Chain A
Amino acid sequence: MSGDLLDARLVVDRGTFRLDVHLRIAAGEVLALLGPNGAGKTTALRALAGLEPLTDGHVTLGERELDRPGRRVWTPPERRPIGVVFQDYLLFPHLSALDNVAFGPRRHGVDKRNARAQAAEWLTRVGLADLGKRKPRQLSGGQAQRVALARALVNHPELLLLDEPLAALDARTRLDTRVELQRHLAEHPGATLLVTHDPLDALVLADRLVVIEHGAVVQEGDAAAVTARPRTDYVARLVGLNLYRGHASGDGVRVGDGLTLVVTDRVAGDAFVAFRPSAVAVHNQRPEGSPRNVWAATVGGIQSHGDNLRVLLNGPIEAAADVTPAAAAELGLVPGQQVWASLKAAETHAYPA
């Protein structure tokens, strides 16, 4: 796409770990970078900000090439039009909230009075007009998060980077702050990269998702596409689906030890099959009748999951099944028990690998 504000290929080689991702973000777009711990999310963010040197690749923002080690192009962090909200905010403890926000404009040549006026305006925008005089240690987590956001946005960055912006907050504050954050991100005219391991943050705040694992992109697309067609176990777990990779022929996909799942989608060759845990039924006797997929399984474990119980089934495939507590009691489910699992073909979703 030519309309991208940010175009970056980030290669960071650190011996045992190698990050190699390509990120493109359009103006006004919010991209969520999602991945498990250690996947390289924060490294990618730091590389964009210029806090981590690139081994290879490039960072192009608008018309400007900020970083390209291959051509010895390098812009230090202080000269990149990039704002960062750090995970634990890193508000300067010796400055008031107002002076924390005014710090950026001051460094960009704005005189003290005007810098403070701009800072006050931004504090008002994030709803903290009265707290300008407070030191960071006198702010609650949610307030500190909003000061950090104001501090990052006051310089009108072309690219806004958010590192787990809600991770440090308790559940209640997170809910309110997420709504607030969504409003500010919608108003931000530049590109936004949101680093998170929380799928809810990604789904609510981002227009598009990029999932990375072990330093490489494993899946990208809008929320609907990623959640409907997970391509790795991590993404499947994130969205709560059972996922298998196998080989399709006819109307079946051979997924595991001699098990072929009958599906309704038409696929051929290497394919994924995904289905919800609630679509799996558990029986003590081999069921007769309509379900077209039946296999013998062993109960591996039982966890509570919302109002239901999630039963982990071992067998030709490892699968999660959701059953009601009443059904579990009736079946007398205990770990190690031999059961039958059934799954309607219509409940499966198959797509090419």
Chain B
Amino acid sequence: MRSRQAPLALLLPALLGLLFLVLPLVGLLYRAPWTTLPERLTEPGILNALRLSLLTATLATAGCLVLGVPLAWLLARVTFPGRRVVRALVTVPLVLPPVVGGVALLLVFGRRGLIGEWLDSAFGITLPFTTAGVVLAEAFVAMPFLIISVEGALRGADARYEEAAATLGAGRWTTFTRVTLPLVAPGVAAGAVLCWARALGEFGATITFAGNFPGRTQTMPLAVYLALETDLEAAIVLSLLLLFVSVVVLASLRDKWISSP
């Protein structure tokens, strides 16, 4: 049977929406300095920024997985007073302007901050304006994406499988690792990819909390912003590179993890 024609009232805005998303990318490609591209790409500053971006985004995602998956489990499986408030709190970084997030991080983890001062005096650890600070800022902004995705997957998964596991002799931890986690693996993977992508593109919280030091805290988005003020072509090259790397990584992960079984 032939599928029915899509109504114009839906088709037209859909195509406009697509155009709106794709056109800026076309603009990047159109204005790219293709002839000088190879030598520009091998400039040491660019590769440093790229390496730092990939490293910090990956570390931030790993941290988000370690803390975010248990938090998502708690929200999905355990009833406790104030659960709705906690759920709302978890999503706050989604609506908070990242710059505000960076300021908030400074107030807590800064050298004179609530925890920062103690970290500094007790362990000699300073987080702001370090690579660790970049990871912290990215994780703060990106973690809600992971939590929302994993919690949704947990809510969708049939909790009776966990009961079945219990009747077979599995305690709660074993049930979590052997049954729950494999069942929601696609959701965890999707959440991790979203989280990674968000961390890779993070700008506001990073520049506020970690500053803009080449090689140490200057990630790709920061480098793009800086280059924009002096050298438009360099900014375009950096943008293209960021675009290319994230598309390749997302596309390959998508095929591997997010396709339905």
**Contact residues of A with B, CB < 8 Å?**
49-51, 76-80, 82-84, 86, 90, 92-95, 103-104, 107-108, 151-152, 155
**Residue B62 is within 8 A (CB to CB) of chain A in the complex:** no
State which of B7-15, B140-148, B160-168, B220-228 sits at the interface with chain A.
Answer: B160-168
How far, in angstroms, from A301 to B160 measured CA to CA in the complex? 43
User: Closest 4 CB pairs between A and B?
Assistant: A107-B169, A77-B166, A104-B168, A90-B164
Q: A90-B161, A94-B182 are in contact. Are A107 and B167 (CB under 8 A)?
A: no
Beyond contacts A92-B165, A92-B183, A155-B169: 4 other A-B pairs, Cβ-Cβ < 8 A, are A77-B163, A92-B179, A103-B168, A104-B168
Does B163 lie within 8 Å of A103, measured CB to CB?
no
Q: Which residues of A contact B161 (CB under 8 A)?
A: 90, 92
B171: nearest chain-A partner, CB-CB: A78
B166: nearest chain-A partner, CB-CB: A77
Total A-B contacts with CB atoms under 8 angstroms apart:
57
**Residue B90 is within 8 A (CB to CB) of chain A in the complex:** no
How far, in angstroms, from A84 to B163 measured CA to CA in the complex? 10
A90's partner among B160, B171, B182 (CB-CB below 8 A) is B160
Q: Which residues of A contact B185 (CB under 8 A)?
A: 94
Chain B interface size range: 10 to 19
The distance from the CB of A271 to the nearest CB of chain B, in whole angstroms, is 44
A137: nearest chain-B partner, CB-CB: B261
**Residue B178 is within 8 A (CB to CB) of chain A in the complex:** yes
How far, in angstroms, from A107 to B178 measured CA to CA in the complex? 10
Does A86 lie within 8 Å of B169, measured CB to CB?
no
**Residue B252 is within 8 A (CB to CB) of chain A in the complex:** no
Which residues 117-164 of B sit at the A interface, judged by CB distance below 8 A? Answer: 158, 160-161, 163-164
The distance from the CB of A149 to the nearest CB of chain B, in whole angstroms, is 13
B157: nearest chain-A partner, CB-CB: A93
A155's partner among B160, B164, B168 (CB-CB below 8 A) is B168
Interface centre among A86, A103, A151, A155, by most chain B C-beta atoms within 10 angstroms, is A103
B158: nearest chain-A partner, CB-CB: A90
A103's partner among B160, B178, B183 (CB-CB below 8 A) is B178
**Residue B99 is within 8 A (CB to CB) of chain A in the complex:** no
How far, in angstroms, from A95 to B178 measured CA to CA in the complex? 10
B161: nearest chain-A partner, CB-CB: A90
B167's partner among A77, A92, A93 (CB-CB below 8 A) is A77
How far, in angstroms, from A86 to B185 measured CA to CA in the complex? 24
Does A93 lie within 8 Å of B183, measured CB to CB?
yes
The distance from the CB of B156 to the nearest CB of chain A, in whole angstroms, is 13
The distance from the CB of B137 to the nearest CB of chain A, in whole angstroms, is 36
Interface centre among B178, B182, B185, by most chain A C-beta atoms within 10 angstroms, is B178
How far, in angstroms, from A100 to B66 measured CA to CA in the complex? 28
Could you write out 20 A-B pairs with CB less than 8 Å apart?
A49-B167, A50-B166, A51-B163, A51-B166, A76-B171, A78-B167, A78-B168, A79-B169, A83-B167, A86-B164, A90-B158, A92-B165, A92-B182, A92-B183, A94-B182, A103-B165, A103-B170, A107-B169, A152-B167, A155-B168
Q: A92-B179, A93-B183, A94-B182 are in contact. Are A78 and B160 (CB under 8 A)?
A: no
Mark contacts of B178-201 with chain A using CB atoms, 8 A cut-off: 1 yes-contact digit, 0 otherwise.
110011010000000000000000
Does B163 lie within 8 Å of A78, measured CB to CB?
no
Q: Which residues of A contact B183 (CB under 8 A)?
A: 92-94
Q: Which residues of A contact B178 (CB under 8 A)?
A: 103
How far, in angstroms, from A108 to B170 measured CA to CA in the complex? 8
Q: Which residues of B contact A51 (CB under 8 A)?
A: 163, 166-167
Does A78 lie within 8 Å of B166, measured CB to CB?
yes
Q: Which residues of B contact A77 (CB under 8 A)?
A: 163, 166-167
How far, in angstroms, from A277 to B167 measured CA to CA in the complex? 45
The distance from the CB of B178 to the nearest CB of chain A, in whole angstroms, is 7
A93: nearest chain-B partner, CB-CB: B183
